[in-house]
Chain A
Amino acid sequence: MKQRAIKYLIGMALLALLGYNSVYFQPLDERLAANQKEVFDAAAYVESIWDTELAESYGNAPDFSQLLTALATDPEGTFEKSGNALGIGNIGYFRVKGEGTVTSVDENHVLLQVGDKSVEIETEFIYGNALRDASGLVKINDYPNTSDFNTISEEINARIRHDLIPTFRSSLAVGDRVEFEGAMELNKAHLNLQRPEIIPFTLKINP
């Protein structure tokens, strides 16, 4: 009986020790206030770079036709020189700018003829990290976690979806001349330059 009591006592003490080292309590409002300070504000960050660094980066993008020619002749060197990649691997992101004529418009994209090349300007599926990573401005190591890093892409893409695309599509017609700046994602191992897809950063219709 006495032995059992001792066992229970030791068990309870161990449980108490584990519990004490497992959880802590805090008033919720204090916690929320502390969190507010720590939370990374992606919207504010993107706003701070949108018209300055980001606009400058895409404004200085290589010409689309020249980049495609370079990729066709020297893919390795062009990936090295003009592409941005998050890590090792075959995927590279490129900034491009150019001007072309609208040849078709459908619900997902706008097809432009740029010189002798066709290019798809995405207008529906504005997702992924192409705009963030092609710009080369944002480095993953500058962020404590991938979640913060990814919210930058979400914010950039959301701006394009909500601010750029609706205005652009509302006044677009086949035959229009369109100036574009944007990003494209290419796979070095399966390089397909036939009809590249571009996530736009700016789109301007020239009458």
Chain B
Amino acid sequence: MIALRKNLNIAQFQSLIALFVLCLGLALTTDNFLTADNFWNVMRQISVNVCISVGMTLVVLTAGIDLSVGSILAFCGAVTAGLLRSGISIPSANLFIGFTVLGAVLAGMLLGGGLGFVNGYAVTRFKVPPFVATLAMLTMARGFTMLWTKGHPITGLGESFGFLGTGWFLGIPMPVWISGFVVLVAVVLTGKTKFGRYIYAIGGNENAARLSGIPISKVKIWVYSLAGLLAAVGGVLVTARLDSAQPNAGMSYELDAIAAVVIGGTSLSGGRGTILGTVLGAVIIGVLNNGLILLDVSPFWQQVIKGIVILLAVVIDKSNQKSE
């Protein structure tokens, strides 16, 4: 325990204790919590949140926020599904461009990165506060989703695409592999590269970072682009899992992502936090969601309880900051 405490910051240690208590409580009060089926079910469910939360962590580490990830997730999922199912028809050239699973997924991810780039460009070039820029993108992306889908789900996407959301590889669900890969890359990116150090430096003190010669705008644009790209990955996973792109997918997912980031110990004022902390936060949110369902708590109360947990996490984080 002492060794564990040494390797974690205080917020992560508290989160780990909270997770342990939560699991223990659920194991004692429900019949199904400690089953393999339920474990993999929780892991599959949190995979999407892990992907978008990792992107959100990068943004929050630069002292920004991205409210558009839920809408970007929906739009990219819908575009991926649309391209896969219907391709692009160019009547004037009598040409049909079809997309393989790889092509449709890449196009969706490219779109997500592009939308994130727009966020980053608005924040850095026009000095729009991140809250406002990404709020605008939230609305636009949701509107584009409705336009693209005409308000209807896009279904029948095929088995090979569905494998990304429902398949298993070496006894582990595909979404867990994918989100695990995302986490691995993000851990290396933030912990072992110059780019990662720039992110922390910008969030810690932007003026000092600028005076040190760090290309603030470039780094921020990359960070928002990555957040968009990871939201798109989440969109692909949701769409593949449901075999359907829903126009209202990803609604309020940004709040779950922010919650995971905060619970994981990342400071909303930037410069402090880790990817693994966020993963821990996402696991807590996932287990909490799962537990509330297993305990048959009303969905209305579930919202209230989740809100209280987030508030509690922020309060504890603030008190940790003071004591540090």
Contact = CB atoms under 8 A, between A and B. Distances in A.
A146 B89 contact: no
B244 A31 contact: no
Q: How large is the interface on A (under 10, 10 to 19, 20 to 34, 35 or more residues)?
A: 10 to 19
21 contacts: A18-B106, A21-B103, A22-B102, A22-B103, A23-B103, A24-B97, A25-B97, A25-B98, A26-B95, A26-B96, A26-B98, A27-B96, A28-B89, A28-B96, A30-B96, A31-B87, A145-B155, A146-B153, A146-B244, A147-B153, A147-B156
Interface in B67-103: 87, 89-91, 93-100, 102-103
User: Main SS of chain A's interface residues?
Assistant: helix
Given A21-B100, A145-B156, A28 B91 contact: yes
Interface string A27-69: 1111100000000000000000000000000000000000000
Looking at chain B, what size class is its interface with the partner chain? 20 to 34
Given A145-B156, A147-B156, A25 B96 contact: yes
A23 B99 contact: yes
Nearest to B105: A22
A23 B98 contact: yes
B156 A144 contact: yes
Contacts of A31: 87, 89, 96, 98
A1 B240 CA distance: 44
Contacts of A28: 89-91, 93-96
A27 B90 CA distance: 10
B86 to A, nearest CB: 9
A146 B155 contact: yes
Contacts of B87: 31
Contact of B102 (A18, A25, A29, A30): A18
A87 to B, nearest CB: 15
Contacts of A144: 156
B100 A24 contact: yes
B293 to A, nearest CB: 15
Nearest to A146: B155
Given A28-B89, A144-B156, A145-B155, A21 B97 contact: no
A22 B96 contact: no
A72 B206 CA distance: 70
Given A18-B106, A23-B98, A25-B97, 18 more contacts: A21-B100, A22-B99, A23-B97, A23-B100, A24-B97, A24-B98, A25-B96, A25-B98, A26-B95, A27-B95, A28-B89, A28-B90, A28-B91, A31-B87, A31-B89, A145-B156, A146-B244, A147-B156
